[in-house]
Chain A
């Protein structure tokens, strides 16, 4: 007979260890154990059966792998914790003997300090591993760098976080590796690509952080300790990889005055190991900028405003003339061979650094005081702009020029509307000097483009400059779309032009409608209605009346919240969003109307003894062909469905149904857009 095994000597009972056992084994306090686990990346585990693992009667809740804990025994940090314990004993002994100064000396000299350097290499064997975990680190550090200092979060930690994150941002600016950004209601999302790794992080808005009640700050502080060490090493590696000296020179005085990014001065490392200070494009005493300014002043004054913008664009273009040629070849687009296959992910427009670095290169930005300066400065610089100025209330140092400067090409404002300047009272030569000085506050400076902040974000996400007139001060902005939401096949995409999304049937319908309009124009003059045939307008009106009646009755009968009443609530898009039902009705009416007209025309033609119009014939034949193809496809599907097992058939039917619903929705959206676009073109004419 085999020997009877003792309970708790093999299997899960041996593989797992409870938390209190682990603490006892390591001989440290629970708090220290927690910190150690966070530093070393030892996470709680879940055994299949908790009952088999713990020997105690009280249910244990947290388990660890025994091997992990065993390995922790070799950890140098553990020695530090034990040193501290020994020190506490020594101090207590000294205090007991009333040797207070001895106790103080012991404490001063013997308190151990933790060093996490070796852990970084251990936890992230390669640099890419470290980059993969950077999203959490960056979010945490950016969050802490925006906190107010409290007893739980001392100012020292905040300052450290700020320094590290700003250094990281400098790297992104230098390498143009920022790709996307998104203004969400919680904060600003950024995505950068470093060494092929996409890193996404979230930065809070300024001055809004309320520290939550149910947050354990000791745990957060431990993570921050670890992540600051990590980001320090990552920054070191990133800086040295592009030939810069780390840490960059830090000017504490200008930092105090509110130069955030400007407080750092990057230094390049020469081939022979010497350091050289990189020219800061931002400095006021920039020679190139000065030369340009002098040239501008020399220009005849009536040209000045327009010329300024062009010149600014020109100076950018001069330097990068050959670069333009070189990078004009766009990135490859991936096309699938099979038409029915899923859409392939395409490289985004800003996917390469050189394209990203040229987006804002020719411009000079001015940030008004109501705009988020730091994020705008960072983004604009990361996308190639070298000259950024801001209102002096946002921080004095680092600004490129003052608001009145004529070199500014874009001013970012977030105010209701700015009046145009009144015509100059004086004329002649005096104005050249005084025109700038006489400007009233809250008045536009001629010769620059005023845009709202969203323009910057939409431009970088689209990879090309957006139309500034849509983003002017006081304008109703187009919606800010998330760059990470991918359109599924057949979904309505507000960013793509309508022509790309329309189905064949819709195109034909539209053509028909247009033809009808043309026919109507032939028969009667525009605006008049042909006898016996109701015009589109009238039909639409009638339809709307009917709709209204229905809606009214609905409301009266059973206070139902239908689309209409919802639409009234949504004020933001009230002008666009009128509910679906109205449009649908109109479209139906149109269809009926065209059919009626068709019949009428045919009758007339017959009466005249003519053949019906050939155009309509081809149209009809086309339609017939399409319907025939459709029918065939339908039959094919039916046939295949019969071959399917029942469960699959059910699933397929469900799929078809939900797809049809979705198509219907998107069709409605497209119809609305078509209507709006038509309205816009009509208004233009």
Chain B
């Protein structure tokens, strides 16, 4: 063993142990140096000098002529005719994008063979026709024709009647009812007309006066906080309700588990198989009711009568109190009605009595208090929030980030001004209900 071990410079890697006398060796590793020295010695032996020190001209030769063999091989190869033809490409670049079916309008009529007798109808067209037959095409298009007359011009041409029928009375034109011209009923709580385009709030300028803007921000912030509070309260409510429901369900579960003392599923299975585990009979805690005695019946009857009398009495008192103020109430009601009718019967000409320069408050943007009653059951969608937050406030038009949604605002304005009722967005239509049932016939077999 001792002969095989050669003497080397100290190295860390081969060191068997770090303990002992010669632990200092770990800091001395000469293997790299040793290797370098050996490589150099090898190079000197093989080439007569160190390669790194020699000039690159001594090491490399530039081949300027090329390999004759390769040239010969290349020369002999002849291009295939097919390749030659393929190589003949047009300088015009090819079309990009995938192939699409040409629209029917682009295909000239009668150009294709099947359209020759003029009776070909494509599948797509057929599908459309089927839909039309089913009444899907209810949205009739509005005819587009050039405007050629002025509907408000004075018509001088009066209809000449036929002289032969002079003796006949003139046919009366159908008169439109007065109600047709009544303004729509707005949803505003004060019943006032809401203009279609309200004048902008001063704080909604893209580069607002600080006071106006902060007032707007404060106002919107307060409403947002309020809404958030309401939302949180509703959420808490919901969670509480859920928790209660879960509790109830757990109770029922526990009761059922109690009923079938063993495992829940297996109990059912065994029941299916035909034998019932010895389930506990139902225990009724309430006693079956005995028949009421006459005295009891009388008592109940008396109590009912007393209650009815009390209610009657209360109502009578209320009515009397109201009768006393009947004049006041009548006045109130009539005043309300008058205000209402004055508004309702204001024809469109009076509708815009508050012109743009007048001081109508409803003209200027802001919260419009909506009344609780509305057309339909659905709530009016909330107005989009239009306020610039402090960190988004820019004084350059270029960097302005527009707020709000005009489409929504237009739509909401139609709703609020009472021109249309609130509608629910019709999503996917209800599919006809399908019930799945298993056929049991596969069970009808007998072991022979």
Contacts and interface: CB of A to CB of B under 8 A. Distances in A.
Interface of A: 29, 31-32, 34-35, 38, 40-46, 61-62, 65, 67-68, 70-71, 74, 80-81, 84-85, 87-89, 91-92, 95, 100-101, 103-104, 107, 111-117, 120-122, 124, 126-127, 129-130, 132-133, 135-136, 139-140, 143, 147, 160, 182-187, 189, 191, 197-198, 200-202, 204-205, 208-216, 218-221, 223, 225, 228-229, 232-233, 235-237, 240, 246-247, 345, 370-372, 414-415, 452-454, 476-477, 479-482, 484-486, 494, 566, 569-573, 576-577, 669
Contacts of B74: none
B145 to A, nearest CB: 8
B419 A214 contact: no
B200 A189 contact: yes
B151 interface: yes
B210 interface: yes
23 contacts: A31-B138, A32-B140, A74-B174, A91-B133, A103-B121, A107-B132, A122-B176, A139-B406, A184-B206, A185-B404, A186-B204, A186-B386, A197-B355, A208-B402, A212-B407, A214-B408, A218-B139, A220-B410, A233-B147, A246-B147, A414-B397, A479-B208, A570-B210
Given A184-B205, A486-B359, A92 B199 contact: no
B267 interface: no
B129 A95 contact: yes
B185 A46 contact: yes
**Among B134, B351, B408: residue with most chain A CB under 10 A:** B408
A359 B242 CA distance: 68
B357 A198 contact: yes
Contact of A183 (B205, B393, B411): B205
B411 A84 contact: no
A599 B386 CA distance: 56
A32 to B, nearest CB: 5
Contacts of A218: 139
Nearest to B399: A414
A484 B200 contact: yes
Q: Determine the interface band of chain B, counting residues with CB < 8 A from chain A.
A: 35 or more
A560 to B, nearest CB: 16
B373 A46 contact: yes
A200 B199 contact: yes
A210 to B, nearest CB: 6
**Among A80, A197, A572: residue with most chain B CB under 10 A:** A572
Interface string B356-399: 11010000100000000101110001001011101001011110
B143 interface: yes
Given A126-B152, A219-B423, A100 B121 contact: yes
Contact of B179 (A68, A121, A140, A204): A68
A247 to B, nearest CB: 7
A511 B407 CA distance: 55
Nearest to B409: A186
B375 A135 contact: no
B169 to A, nearest CB: 19
Nearest to B146: A247
A129 B183 CA distance: 13
A341 to B, nearest CB: 14
Given A67-B177, A104-B121, A143-B406, A88 B210 contact: no
Given A44-B421, A101-B120, A183-B206, A232 B147 contact: yes
Q: Chain A contact residues: over half helix, strand or loop, or mixed?
A: mixed
Interface string B202-225: 101111111110100000000000
A482 B205 contact: yes
Nearest to B129: A103
Interface string B133-169: 1110111111111110111100000000000000000
Nearest to B140: A114
Contact of A240 (B134, B150, B196): B150
Nearest to A201: B197
Given A65-B177, A480-B206, A132 B352 contact: yes
A191 B356 contact: yes
Contacts of A114: 140-143
Contacts of B249: none
Nearest to A65: B179
A607 to B, nearest CB: 50
Nearest to B206: A183
B351 A132 contact: yes
A186 B406 contact: yes
Nearest to A241: B150
A183 B410 contact: no
A87 B359 CA distance: 54
B388 A198 contact: no
Contacts of B120: 101
B358 to A, nearest CB: 8
B10 interface: no
Contacts, number: 297
B49 interface: no
B414 A223 contact: yes
Contacts of B176: 71, 122
A129 B403 contact: no
B420 interface: yes
B16 to A, nearest CB: 69
Contact of B205 (A121, A479, A571): A479
Interface in B418-435: 418-421, 423, 425
B418 A182 contact: no
Contacts of A209: 405-407
A200 B133 contact: no
B151 A572 contact: no
Given A43-B184, A43-B185, A202-B197, A143 B119 contact: no
A233 B397 contact: no
B32 to A, nearest CB: 59
Contact of B150 (A204, A233, A479, A577): A233
B423 A237 contact: no
Nearest to A484: B199
B180 interface: yes
B147 A236 contact: yes
Given A32-B138, A114-B143, A202-B197, 14 more contacts: A43-B420, A44-B375, A65-B180, A100-B119, A101-B121, A140-B410, A185-B402, A200-B199, A213-B425, A215-B411, A240-B150, A485-B212, A485-B364, A571-B390
B319 interface: no
Contacts of A136: 196-197, 413
A237 B201 CA distance: 33
A184 B241 CA distance: 45
Contacts of A43: 182, 184-185, 418-420
B205 A182 contact: yes
B142 A225 contact: yes
Contacts of A214: 381, 408, 411, 425
A200 B197 contact: yes
A185 B400 contact: yes
A174 to B, nearest CB: 18
Interface string B173-194: 0101101101011000000000
B126 A185 contact: no
B118 interface: yes
Nearest to B411: A215
A605 B176 CA distance: 91
A95 B141 CA distance: 23
Contacts of B348: 129, 132-133
Contacts of A62: 375-376, 421
